[in-house]
Amino acid sequence: MRTMEWAYNKLPKTEDGRLRLMSETQVRKAKAFHESFPQYKATPLVGLGEMAKLLGVGGIYVKDESYRFGLNAFKVLGASYAMARYIAKETGRDVADLPFRVLTGERMREKFGQATFFTATDGNHGRGVAWAANQLKQKAVVFMPKGSTQTRLENILKENATATIEDANYDECVRMAADAAAATPRGVVVQDTAWEGYEEIPAWIMQGYGTMALEASKQLFDREVRCPTHIFIQAGVGSLAGAVQGFFANIHPKHPPKVVVVEADMAACLYKSCKVGDGSMYHVVGDMQTIMAGLACGRPNTISWDILRNHVDTFLCAPDWVAAKGMRMLAAPRKGDAPITSGESGAVGFGAFAVIMTMDAYRPLREHLGLGADSQVLFFSTEGDTDPERYKAIVWDALDF
């Protein structure tokens, strides 16, 4: 059985110029936009009090994104806000003046018309792009990497998007989406990763993800938890991790939570970059076979990497069995705690935490993080059972890895 590996962050720091992208002001603007959707409702923050007692911490809180806009995942937050920001820029408006009803009105249709938004995804981001484009009366084209499931493809097609599963990995599909957009009149890439020359839209996507972090912060405050002591956040390219880390570093600059970034071990580009330790980004290549399809990304987001290297405490990579453990524990917690339906990519952060707290091999990491009776630990379950058959195979039938 493969074990988890980790690297403490000793990377050289930068001027930290990217952190301002996730300021509270920027995130509140994104949240106000999301609140204008008729489907908007803050997703629940589930407290697992009995599980906290079992694992030896003061509190466990899980942000359950399976309720987000009826799409079973959080990704729509970034896609919808990026589209709104793009339309605002093209029409010379401030996004604050473009709530849902204005964006979908006849005047905006006459002024802006239609664009085609291209993306690459295993499913959740693509479904978010497709849904947002459909809601905002735009077009969407989605390239999905090999290994993507038919269920996820069909969910995207239901949103009136064009979508195909390609014989290529995620990073290759990103290049395909960019090439197709360049060859299409009014083609726009909406990708939740950034590279040199493509950083504006990924920054908007990260700000859109901030809505989830801002909701969680308020929900914790309502429970008299001013600030979590620890956050376990999963990463593929690192956009979500950078958004969460950036937001909490901004609102708690003097006493920020300790953040642990958790990746799939087959696609651990951030962990690899931290372990090398020279400050550069390092890539992972190949098929990156993992049940955590949403994390199977080999190239870090340049914007996010700058935030993460300056603020994250520990980078950790986890094999598939850790994600499966997290899924099962959340689905069947201790009596008195509410169950949470969390998919493979959504549950790996909690799974890693549970392993750290219960297995002697990870005692050094547990002690380094200072996890104990006073710890208030926050997790983001970023997807529900987006692939129901695989979810049942893992949780019900104890599919092994």
Torsion on CA atoms 318, 237, 293, 231, rounded to nearest 10: 50
Q: Is 75 a catalytic site residue?
A: yes
Three-class HEC string of 34-84: HHCCCCCCCCCEEECHHHHHHHCCCEEEEEEHHHHHHCCECCHHHHHHHHH
Catalytic residue among 122, 171, 306, 313: 122
Instruction: Please state, in angstroms and as integers, the Cα–Cα distance from residue 193 to each residue in 108, 190, 205, 268, following that order.
Output: 28, 9, 9, 15
Catalytic residue among 75, 139, 258, 325: 75
First and final CA of the chain: distance in angstroms? 8
C-beta of residue 228 within 8 angstroms of C-beta of residue 281 = no
What DSSP string describes 331-351? HS-STTSPP----HHHHHHHH
- Token pair of 325, please? 């453990």
Classify strands 45-47 and 59-64 as parallel, antiparallel or unpaired.
antiparallel
For residue 166, count other CB atoms closer than 10 A to its CB: 16
Query: How many Å separate Cα 376 from the centre of its chain?
Result: 21
C-beta of residue 114 within 8 angstroms of C-beta of residue 138 = yes
Q: Which residues are catalytic?
A: 75, 122
